[in-house]
Structure formats: C-alpha cells, structure tokens
Amino acid sequence: MCSKDKVTVLFFAQLSEISHQTEAQYPIEAQETALSLYQRIRAEYDFPLEATQLRAARNHAFCPWDTVLENRDIVAFIPPVAGG
Amino acid sequence: MFLLTEKIIDNPSLSKEIDNKKNGAYVFFEGRVRNHNDGKAVTHLSYSVYPQLAMRVGEAVIAEAKARFDVQDIHCIHRTGSLNIGDIAIWIAVGAAHRDAAFNACRFVLDTLKQDLPIWKKEHYQNAESAWPNNQI
C-alpha cells in the first residue's frame, strides 16, 4: 500500500444519475474497505442509499463489505436490482 | 447460455436453437413490459446493466440450475436499453427429459436472476416522475 494507490469506481442506476458519472478514480487509504470507500463517496454525493441497501463488487464479482481494497481494483456499489 | 442484448428478443428463432432430441419437455418463460406499475401508467422503461458482473451472475445461475435439476439445456436472454410496452424483457427456455425438472429449473433461474442480476429498471410514467423500482424479493 502506498499513498498513490487508486481504485476505479463504477456507478450504476441512481448512483450514476446522482453523481453524473459512470466511473471515477479514487485514492484509497491503508486498509480501505469497500464499506469505508462507499461511506466516503456517499457523503460526497449525498447518496440516499445506505450500505445495507446495496451490495459491493470488486473486480466484477460480488464481495463482502469488509473486503480490503488494493491498488487498481475496480469497485462497484450495486443498488437494489430490478431485472427480469 | 446467458446473453444480454439491446435488440428485440426474437423468441421463435431462439426456440429452434435449443432443439434437442433428448428433451421431452420444454418450458419457456417471457417477462414482458406491462403498461402499469404501482397504480401508475407506464409509457416505457430503460434497463441499465453492469455487463461484466451480469454475465458472470447469469452464467453461474444457469450452471447452478443444471447442477440442481435434471435438465439438458437452459438459455436465457435479458434485454437492456430502452423497451416499449409489450417488449420481452427476459426470455428463459429450459429443455429436459421430463416436465417437473423443466418447470422447477425455469422458476429457479427466474427467481435467482431477479434477486442477483445487476440490472436496473428506470420506469417512465404518463403523469409522474420517472423512478427506479426494485424487485421485491
């Protein structure tokens, strides 16, 4: 872990609409988890959805919220789904 | 086989693809866009998708269904993009030797995809602001 580590965050559905973007780079702190990153981004954009309403994904697979992120990871926060 | 498509789902030609002489039972499911939801008149809807994760989830659900039920073939296609009333949003075909396995596998695939597939629906209404409804599991 170094101070220049970054992840790419993908935004979908409401989160994309509110933040006006589909992806963005975010620097990560040491031991940054999917949850701590979401809380930071939620505060930045005032997302109405709490983490308990979402699922996290890392590198195109669902992951637990306490997953520690690594440099160059691709992270997504999955709002409640509506397929089918 | 799991696919995502922005094109209109052409179910008759798809049905031919899963023809298999080992199968004595086929179950087909079509989920279509209806013109109302929650008391509001729906004009059309837009599906957005996380394609990499959706493909992974879709293929895993089909593999799980094949492991759980005695079926030969499962094909599933989900539309993305802009859909009109009456369009097929999801199409599932299951081929099996016998009907019980085919019905059960089809229901399992549909229910699991509705729960896990990273696809979102924006509904557009005649007299109300658009909304992002989610599946009630």
Q: What is the pLDDT of residue B137?
A: 57
CB A37 within 8 A of CB A51: no
Question: Would you say B105 and B29 are in contact if contact means Cβ atoms under 8 Å apart?
Answer: no
State ipTM: 0.94
Contacts of B48 in chain A (CB under 8 A): 12-13, 16
- pTM (two decimals): 0.94
Q: What are A's interface residues with B at a Cβ cutoff of 8 A?
A: 10, 12-14, 16, 57, 60-62, 76, 78-84
Give which of B85, B104, B87 is closest to B96, Cα–Cα. Answer: B104
What is the CB-side half-sphere exposure of residue B136 using CA atoms within 13 A?
Answer: 2
Segments of chain B scoring below 70 in pLDDT? 136-137
Confidence (pLDDT) at A1: 60
The structure tokens 């609409």 sit at A17
- Sheet (strand B2-5) strand order: B2-5, B71-79, B88-96, B25-32
Mean pLDDT of chain A: 96
pLDDT at A2 over 80: no
Res A41 pLDDT > 60? yes
pLDDT at position B105 is 98
CA–CA separation, B93 vs B114, rounded Å? Answer: 16
The residue among B77, B46, B122 whose CA lies nearest residue B131 is B122
**Beta strand ranges found along B6-136 (DSSP E):** 25-32, 36-37, 40-49, 71-79, 81-84, 88-96, 119-125
User: How far apart are alpha carbons A71 and B127 in whole angstroms?
Assistant: 47
Closest partner CB to B117 (pick from A10, A12, A81): A81
Closest by CA to B132, choosing from B36, B48, B22, B33, is: B48
Q: How confident is the model over A65-84, as pLDDT tens digits? A: 999 999 999 999 999 999 99
Question: Is A83 in contact with B121 (Cβ distance < 8 A)?
Answer: yes
Compute the distance between CA of residue A35 and CA of residue A23 in angstroms, rounded to an integer. 17
Mean pLDDT, rounded, for A6-15: 97
